[in-house]
Amino acid sequence: MPLAANADATVTRPSSAWTGWGQWLALVTMTLDHLARYAMPDAWHMGWIDSSLGRVAFPLFAAMVAWHGLFNTRDPLRYARRVLVIGLIAQLPYALMPRDVDGLILNICFTLSLGLIGGAWLQGLPGRLANGTAPWRAVAEGLGALAVWALAGQVVEYGHLGLLMIPFYMLALRSLHSSGSGLNEHLASVAAALPVLVTAGLMNSSGMAKTVTVATCLAVLLLAAGAHRLSPRVPVQMPRRLWLAWYPAHFAAIALWLGLTGGLAGA
């Protein structure tokens, strides 16, 4: 089965059965993280969730977006727009969450959407150059992408490093999946995997958070390297409407709870 049109058609498409498990794990860990961070009183001492289970969600969401953007969609930009729509719907309840920093912060869907756009641009660049795109135009596009990264990284969740996760994931996933059996190809795949692992480690401050985030990324990279063949299909497939609605809906539910209990007073 060939890859999507935005990728090399000579490379076979890997199994995406693991993403069924990934969806459930990402939603559960994200929800636990947000409940512990926003809804549970400090007296309950649930902050450990933020540096452990809570660090699974973002690298897993980014991995699934990168995987589908690389292997399963013919139009990554349309996929990015769908993610952005979810982010726009979720932004109001997200903005109501109490946080220590002031100013505009855009939710994770903006990070994922912009990251996918950047990753798709990078993946398509060699083909565009080979098909006659002028080098000066590619340089101009690159400077524009760099400017967007610099500006957007100041306002999106997970910042500049978060925006790099999907492009680096796509680089690593493609290299690992298409790698041959030669030593040079193996070394090239390892080199391609390093940026996403380093970025994952830099996104966190505590040792526990670094370990969980990097381990999550490493698990996805192993799937791309061939472990995807071992994953069975999830027994209960997540309903599409639940998958699309959960992110804004769970923030709305937390905001309602905080409003009823007075937790929004300091937000």
**Span 226-242, average pLDDT:** 94
pLDDT surpasses 70 at 245 = yes
**Span 135-145, average pLDDT:** 90
Tokens of 245: 């609605």
The pLDDT, as a whole number, for residue 251 is 96
In 3D, which of 176, 158, 145 has the Cα closest to residue 61? 158
**Span 28-50, average pLDDT:** 84
Tokens of 157: 């969740």
Q: What helix, strand, coil percent values describe the chain, rounded to 5?
A: 70, 0, 25
The pLDDT, as a whole number, for residue 11 is 52
pLDDT surpasses 90 at 202 = yes
Q: H-helix or E-strand containing 190?
A: helix 183-202
pLDDT surpasses 90 at 129 = no
Average predicted confidence (pLDDT) for the chain: 89
pLDDT surpasses 50 at 267 = no
| pLDDT category of residue 4 using cuts at 50, 70 and 90 | very low
**Span 230-239, average pLDDT:** 95
Where are the alpha helices (H) located in 7-133, listed in sequence order? 18-34, 54-67, 76-95, 108-130
* Euclidean distance between CA atoms 217 and 44, whole angstroms: 30
The pLDDT, as a whole number, for residue 265 is 43
**Span 227-240, average pLDDT:** 95
Place of tokens 């693991």: 18
The pLDDT, as a whole number, for residue 32 is 94
The pLDDT, as a whole number, for residue 264 is 60
Neighbours of 224 (CB within 10 A): 25
The pLDDT, as a whole number, for residue 9 is 45
Tokens of 247: 């992110």
Are the C-beta atoms of residues 157 and 105 closer than 8 Å to each other? yes
Rounded to 10 deg, the angle between the 108-130 and 76-95 helix axes is 160
* Domain spans of the chain, in order of start: 18-261
| pLDDT category of residue 263 using cuts at 50, 70 and 90 | low
The pLDDT, as a whole number, for residue 240 is 94
pTM of this prediction? 0.90
The pLDDT, as a whole number, for residue 243 is 95
Say which range, 30-34, 61-65, 133-137, 214-218, has the weakest mean pLDDT. Answer: 133-137
Q: Which residue has the higher pLDDT, 170 or 52?
A: 170
Question: Cα-flanking dihedrals φ and ψ of residue 100, to 5°?
Answer: -80, -15
**Span 74-103, average pLDDT:** 93
Q: Which residue has the higher pLDDT, 87 or 134?
A: 87
Are the C-beta atoms of residues 189 and 225 closer than 8 Å to each other? yes
